[in-house]
Structure 1
Amino acid sequence: MLSPTEPAPARKTIPHVDFALDDLDSDEERYLDFYRKVAVREDMLVPLAQHHDGPHSYYVLFDRTATWGHPGTPQLLAVHLQRDHEEQTFSFDHAPLPLPAMAQSWLIHRGCPPDAIGLDPELGPPPADEATRALERRLAEDGDHYAMGYSYTRDDPEDMVVVVVLRAMDEERAPSPFRVVVEEIDTDAWTHTLRESGFDTVGEALQWCEDRLTGKAGPLPPSRSATAASRPAGVAKAPAPRPPGRSR
């Protein structure tokens, strides 16, 4: 995940996203819908990953405007564009998501080849260890076993953290019905770690996130099953229970 003010220490210029829609004469309603949901902040979107395959384009975008929005808002945007050059029109789908691997998963499950949507290594802090890399691979490649129900993104340089609560789509086969995924960024070392753990109830999962965000949480409990790789946490296919309203 990028810092909202410094995309990466080694990067001198920030790449710009190009949706390549200038030659398409779509209907006004569709253009307005795309503008309102995506293109209105085009100059503030940083392409962390993108892949183009004929009429299809897939993007993982960092939204630099999110830091000034509602506290906790996801700062990543997954976008799938489909162009019809014969009809000179296009369609699109998009989803705000809290973690890059979840955005990759969303795109992969809409037809993007898994090996074609790797993140730009010059943008954002790299993984700190193999555990992070392994969990990110599972999130990206098999992200339909769990549904996202809650997330909170904090971009405070003193404590850059993302917490996500997920619910198992198949609770009978999952080692835990609810999971928490936590990304923490070390701004001094400029690396990030990703960890997960299981909980029996959504209340327990949400309470751990609340405690983490308020500085009361201990270490994330050990994952219940070391074989959870076959049923990894992932991206929403259906809504999970929503957390109670809290002010932070």
Structure 2
Amino acid sequence: MSAGLDFDLGGLSPADNRSGILRDIAGESDLDLLTRHDVGDRSYLLAFDNGASWGPGRSLPDLFTFDVRRDQAEGTFALDASAHANVAFAQKWLAERGCPPAAMTVDGDLIGADELTYQIENQIHSAGDRYDLIDLTAARESPGEAWTMVTDRNAAELPVRLFIEHSDAKRNTYTIREGAFPDRAGAEAWLASRNTPLPEPPEYRTGADALRTRAALARSAAPTAPGVAEIVAAAPAAIAQPDRGRSL
């Protein structure tokens, strides 16, 4: 297993085939541990994949989350994993499995640049099964852009949502914005052209959170798009490809 990533599985056998496969693949991958939270015989890990490869104009997911459950009485372990393009969705996946997002803070991580970024992050963290993954791409460089495209089950209109994160290591900051589209084709067309501002969700304009959102928008500097990502189907990840049509 790569240095810095230890599931503490001494003497334990996989409880199922998937757990064994994930353990073996993780052991063969170039993963660096970013942060970890332990609760008894359960561990939550967030790791960076140094071996994540680039496709034409895009990058494969480079963040991986792990949920490790050990049963000392049975002498077994269960392991689950998922791939992500940004920390907020990685924290969401772990939160669904009982890990507080605040416990998975990455040392030396960038700082959210404005109030709206934190508002959207909290929305992602508490989403539960609200979002079904469509596609994603990680940042290739810094300054850079990562995005995650989902279907929002709670959306009354424009159900395809695009979460775009712009990060800048030199400034030590990042921003997250949410765009709303009628379908995947509309989101992909916007990504390819970038000829209009990111369309904001309808609930930004109406509803109980409208005033708070508009105030956050007014205090937030508009992010710039550093480049145009080629729209292709999400490629297999090094460990676990995100399931299409399933909750993140």
Report matched runs for 1:197-212 at 5 Å: 197-211=179-193
| Structure 2 unpaired stretches of 5+ | 211-241
Aligned partner of residue 156 in structure 1, secondary structure: coil
The answer as to whether partners of 1:165 and 1:206 remain within 8 angstroms in 2 is: no
The residue aligned with 1:60 is: 46
The answer as to whether partners of 2:18 and 2:79 remain within 8 angstroms in 1 is: no
The answer as to whether partners of 1:145 and 1:168 remain within 8 angstroms in 2 is: yes
The residue aligned with 1:80 is: 67
Aligned partner of residue 180 in structure 1, secondary structure: strand
Distance 1:169 1:17 in 2: 35
The answer as to whether partners of 1:163 and 1:209 remain within 8 angstroms in 2 is: no
The residue aligned with 1:5 is: none
Report matched runs for 1:93-132 at 5 Å: 93-115=80-102, 117-122=103-108, 124-132=109-117
Q: Structure 1 residue 20 and structure 2 residue 8: aligned?
A: yes
The residue aligned with 1:161 is: 145
State the 4+ residue runs in structure 1 displaced beyond 3 angstroms.
25-32, 67-71, 227-230
Cα 1:134/1:66, change in 2 over 3 Å: same
Alpha-carbon shift at residue 205 of structure 1 (Å): 1.0
TM-score by length of 2: 0.73
Alpha-carbon deviations, 1:95-118, whole Å to 9, x = none? 111121111111111222444x33
| Structure 1 unpaired stretches of 5+ | 1-14, 231-236, 242-248
Alpha-carbon deviations, 1:68-103, whole Å to 9, x = none? 678421111111011111222211111111121111
Amino acid at match of 1:38: A
Alpha-carbon shift at residue 151 of structure 1 (Å): 0.9
Alpha-carbon shift at residue 154 of structure 1 (Å): 3.1
TM-score by length of 1: 0.73
Aligned partner of residue 87 in structure 1, secondary structure: coil
Distance 1:160 1:132 in 2: 16
The residue aligned with 2:136 is: 151
The residue aligned with 1:179 is: 161
Identical residues among aligned pairs (%): 28
The residue aligned with 1:220 is: 198
Cα 1:176/1:49, change in 2 over 3 Å: farther
The answer as to whether partners of 1:58 and 1:107 remain within 8 angstroms in 2 is: yes
Q: RMSD of the alignment, in Å?
A: 3.0
Q: After the TM superposition, which of the residue ranges 87-96 and 67-76 deviates more from structure 2?
A: 67-76
Distance 1:193 1:112 in 2: 24
Aligned residues: 210
Distance 2:171 2:37 in 1: 30
Alpha-carbon shift at residue 167 of structure 1 (Å): 0.6
Cα 1:112/1:26, change in 2 over 3 Å: same
Alpha-carbon shift at residue 210 of structure 1 (Å): 2.6
